[in-house]
Amino acid sequence: MIVSIKRFGLSVISVVSLLTAPAAMAGGHKGEKTVGITAGYNTFNQNAVAGLFMQYRVNGLLRVAPDVTYIFKHHDTDGLAINLNVHMPLSIVPSGKFNLYPLAGLNYTSWSYHAKGAAPSIIETDDVSQRVSKFGFNIGAGIDLYATDNLKLFVEGKYVGVKHYSSGVISVGMGYRF
């Protein structure tokens, strides 16, 4: 009876240790900051994106990651997206060089539509004919690679849920970590 209680206790301790190990091994420390650039693809207008990001590690498990992304003009549509995401980096190797992170957050996107002149009397310009701005949410995941102590690379995919303007965004980034 005592042996089975010890086994049960050791089993519980082992399971708890395994479940909490990824959080304990996660690369990064409280107060860590990263700034950098991103590039990628947006599925709404099927074109490239470029942006700037900042990340701040709140604690060992969470980091706040605001970013601003410009969505290049295609199909007479371009946009500007402002995101405020929260990441939960989890180390996928003991060295902490690779982190897998789920993300969730808020989104504000302003889409600009450029009308083409239909009649000879209308001169086509680069001015915006119509602008639609909406709030939404982000959900996705990414992988960090700490190439050096100060250089971080990442790949990220997310779904941007905005009523009538939802899209997928795939991006790669490079940042300076300090």
Q: Give the CATH number for residue 74.
A: 2.40.160.20
Question: How many beta carbons lie within 10 A of that of residue 62, not counting itself?
Answer: 16
Tell me the residue length of the chain.
178
Nearest to 145 by CA among 96, 103, 107, 82: 96
pLDDT tens, 128-170?
A: 568 899 999 999 999 999 999 999 999 999 999 999 999 999 9
What pLDDT was estimated at residue 84?
A: 98
Q: How far is CA 109 from CA 150, 165, 174, in A?
A: 31, 9, 23
pLDDT tens, 108-117?
A: 999 998 876 5
- The pTM score is 0.77
Q: Based on the structure, what is the number of domains in the chain?
A: 1
What pLDDT was estimated at residue 46?
A: 95
- Please give the residue range of the domain that contains residue 160: 2-177
Question: Is the pLDDT reported for residue 75 higher than 70?
Answer: yes
Tokens of 72: 């290049």
* 164 Rama sector, left if φ>0, alpha if ψ -120 to 50, beta otherwise: left
- Report the alpha-carbon distance of residue 48 to residue 156 in Å, rounded: 14
Listed ranges 21-25, 60-64, 66-70; the one with the highest mean pLDDT: 66-70
